[in-house]
Amino acid sequence: MARSSRERDRRRSPTSARHAEAIRLALMETAPAGLKKPRLMVVTELSRSQVVRGLAAYHEVAGEKRWPPLLWSFRDGYHFCEDAVELEEWERHWAEVKATQISSVINGILAGHARLFPKSRWVSYIGAQMNAIQSSLDMIAHPQNQ
């Protein structure tokens, strides 16, 4: 279920939004190069936890404020990306990671729940929903297999 704008604003602190803005400004100064977390901490004068919260806030507000997509790579660290191929590769990787996590939940938790309570409507419902999500993520991660 999509969250309303008010719910998102309540969850996101003004401080983390300021940290996101500081991160955006620091990365704009170094673009197209990126910054790894230790260097980002120095440039923004934020602590590690403030950078982490700022990065999370950045991802939440980027679409609303029309900021460029922010990616992370071993080579470049955090950087803005406007390359369609790189964005699609990152999105496929993200979908594969999430599909693996959901598979772990299905096999590690829901399967046990279903064995303990085989007639549970809840476990049938959640299992069907999780399988559908996993299938969708698999199609995103591996479109050539479809």
pLDDT digits (tens, 9 = 90+) for 130-142: 999 999 999 999 8
Nearest by Cα to 46 from 22, 17, 73: 22
64-81: average pLDDT: 90
Asked if residue 32 has a cis previous peptide bond (ω within 30° of 0), the answer is yes
Report the sign of the C-alpha dihedral through residues 125, 140, 66, 81, in that order: positive
Q: What's the CA gap between 53 and 21, in Å, rounded?
A: 12
What pLDDT was estimated at residue 8? 52
Nearest by Cα to 1 from 145, 146, 129: 129
Has this prediction a pTM greater than 0.75?
Answer: no
Q: What's the CA gap between 47 and 15, in Å, rounded?
A: 13
Q: Taking a C-beta distance cutoff of 8 angstroms, is the pair 54, 65 a contact?
A: no
- pLDDT more than 70, % of the chain: 90
What pLDDT was estimated at residue 2? 54
- pLDDT higher than 50, residue 71: yes
Burial class of 107 by CB neighbour count within 10 A (0 to 12, 13 to 18, 19+): exposed
- pLDDT higher than 70, residue 26: yes
What pLDDT was estimated at residue 1? 46
